[in-house]
Amino acid sequence: MKIKCLAIDDEPLAKKQIGSYIEKTPFLENMALCGSAFEAMEYLANNVIDLMFVDINMPDLNGMDFVKSLVEKPQIIFTTAYSEFAMDGFKVDALDYILKPISYAVFLKAATKAKTWFELNQKQADTVKTTTDSIFVKSEYKLIRILLSEIKYIESSNEYIQIHLINDESITTLIRLKVIEEQLPKDKFMRVHRSFIVNLDKVKVIERNRIIFDRNIYIPVGDQYKDIFQAFIDKTFLI
């Protein structure tokens, strides 16, 4: 498997350097080099990318705001000359953060980290099996079948997820939220927050950008998911 890459940098030499690093790395594939966030947006509208190398300090729309604007985003490695952006990078779940000037050794270390992530992601995907009406997950050395209609919402907790059911029970499994998101039918389940997926059929009450399942369960709708969730509300609810 080759990891499909896109690099964004407004500095031509820096962009060319990242492109050359991608091309000399056997497990990476250079799909596009973009000089701005807007150019990258156009490319992403029609193409699927696994990994983006994103410069932060760019004119008009910086790399951090660009990544935050994406609803469906690839994995991210930030590249920048400014170390003070590091914490912000990890807040948007970036895989890594590398400082300019970038040597190939530093680039390769970050790229290898990405390769490890994708391999783990694939292994986790192999542990999830779906049918038209159910999903099978591993939990406590058992393979458990869960009817999709019985899922209320799914919550992420680091490397684990909790699948909350309508009977108020929950099942914990070692898997990333994005992995199970890709296995679920998109017309029934929606990612509404970096930590939550909800069963749209179970959404009954919405208040102040929160989905209310009962008195004690409030699921926040994250900023980057508001537009797609609003589209669901406009289509479903009579307002």
pLDDT in tens, the chain (239 residues): 799 999 999 999 999 999 999 999 999 999 999 999 999 999 998 888 999 999 998 888 888 889 988 877 889 999 988 766 555 555 567 889 899 999 999 999 999 999 998 888 777 666 676 777 898 888 877 888 999 999 999 998 767 899 999 998 999 988 888 888 888 998 999 999 989 999 999 998 998 889 998 777 889 998 888 889 999 888 887 75
- Cα angle: 66, vertex 179, 165; to 5 degrees: 115
Q: How far apart are CA 17 and CA 71, in angstroms?
A: 28
Q: Which residue has the tokens 């896109």?
A: 6
> Domains in the chain, please, with CATH?
3-125 (3.40.50.2300), 129-236 (2.40.50.1020)
User: What is the longest distance spanned by two Cα atoms in the chain?
Assistant: 58
Classify strands 210-214 and 129-130 as parallel, antiparallel or unpaired.
unpaired
The confidence score (pLDDT) of residue 23 equals: 96
Q: Which of 115, 80, 114, 83 is nearest to 10 (CA)?
A: 80
Annotate 74-132 with DSSP letters as a single string: -EEEEEES-GGGHHHHHHTT-SEEEESSPPHHHHHHHHHHHHHHHHHHHHHHHT-EE-S
Q: Is 23 helix (H, G, I), strand (E, B) or coil?
A: helix
State the pLDDT at residue 127. 67
Asked whether the bond before 220 is cis by omega within 30 degrees of 0, the reply is no
- pLDDT given at position 52: 97
Give the per-residue pLDDT at 27: 96
The pLDDT of residue 77 is: 95
CA atoms within 13 A on the CB side of 18: 30
Q: Which of 193, 17, 36 is nearest to 44 (CA)?
A: 36
